[in-house]
């Protein structure tokens, strides 16, 4: 399921610069935010100044205040999955973007994550993905966290994608994940185990390259 998951949260990034305009009312309740200088962002990311200008125009079009809160993020993200409930997965994704735990995503947060996912090293991409799954930020992925993520993905895809989904399917995916990733069988997956297992999987490695030339 890793290439599928990867596609989903890459799409969530691209929606900011390609989707129809979201409801502005929620955004205008936020304090306007002016991003860091382009020179600084160019030094901190893998984007050129021209690319950053294009990204900022798209972000500003979607988020006139310069920040996006969680409810608006969910609204934008749900446009990709009209037949399912994307709110829970969008919540996890929002928290992965909101590294400062401020309750909002600034352009700097957005472009930093985009830089990693599109042009970062394999290790950087996998570390970002690990942090998405590590819901409680304790440095490990446990079965409860992975079950929550998998269920959120199934809810997001909806009944039209999985019309005959068995009730034990999430558990089967979680068991397969731990069988593959939990190298020392201690019941949790560390960052090192996660990176090593992903690097051993050709499908995952290919999925990490899918969007390298999107921008």
What is the overall mean pLDDT for the chain? 80
Q: pTM value?
A: 0.78
pLDDT less than 70: residues of the chain: 1-36, 159-167, 210-215
Q: Say whether 23 sits in a helix, a strand or coil.
A: coil
**pLDDT per residue as tens digits for the range 57-68:** 888 887 888 898
Domain count, the chain: 2
Residue 149: inside a domain: yes
| pLDDT tens for each residue of 2-14 | 433 344 455 444 4
CATH of the domain at 107: 1.10.238.10
Q: Are 115 and 159 in a shared domain? A: no
Where helices occur in the chain by DSSP H, the ranges are: 2-18, 24-28, 38-44, 49-62, 70-78, 87-97, 107-119, 122-133, 143-157, 169-181, 191-199, 202-207
Residues 137 and 209 in one domain: yes
One domain for residues 114 and 131: no
Give me the domain span that covers residue 85. 48-119
Beta bridge partners of 189: 141
CA distance 23 to 45: 29
């Amino acid at each position: 399921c890793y290439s599928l998951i990867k596609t989903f949260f890459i799409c969530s990034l691209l929606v900011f610069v390609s989707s129809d305009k979201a409801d502005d009312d929620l955004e205008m309740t936020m304090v306007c935010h002016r991003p860091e200088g382009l020179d600084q962002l160019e030094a901190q990311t893998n984007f050129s100044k021209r690319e950053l200008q294009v990204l900022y125009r798209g972000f500003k079009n979607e988020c006139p205040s310069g920040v996006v809160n969680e409810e608006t993020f969910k609204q934008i993200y749900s446009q990709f999955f009209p037949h399912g409930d994307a709110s829970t997965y969008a919540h996890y994704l929002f928290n992965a973007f909101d590294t400062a735990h401020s309750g909002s995503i600034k352009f700097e947060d957005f472009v930093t994550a985009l830089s990693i996912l599109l042009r970062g090293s394999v290790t950087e991409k996998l570390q970002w993905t690990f942090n998405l799954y590590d819901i409680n930020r304790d440095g490990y992925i446990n079965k409860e966290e992975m079950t929550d993520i998998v269920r959120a993905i199934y809810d997001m895809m909806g009944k039209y994608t999985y019309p005959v989904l068995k009730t034990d399917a999430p558990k089967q995916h979680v068991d397969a994940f731990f069988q593959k990733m939990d190298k020392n069988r201690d019941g949790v997956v560390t960052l090192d185990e996660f990176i090593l297992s992903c690097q051993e999987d050709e499908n995952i490695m290919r999925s990490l390259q899918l969007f390298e030339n999107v921008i």
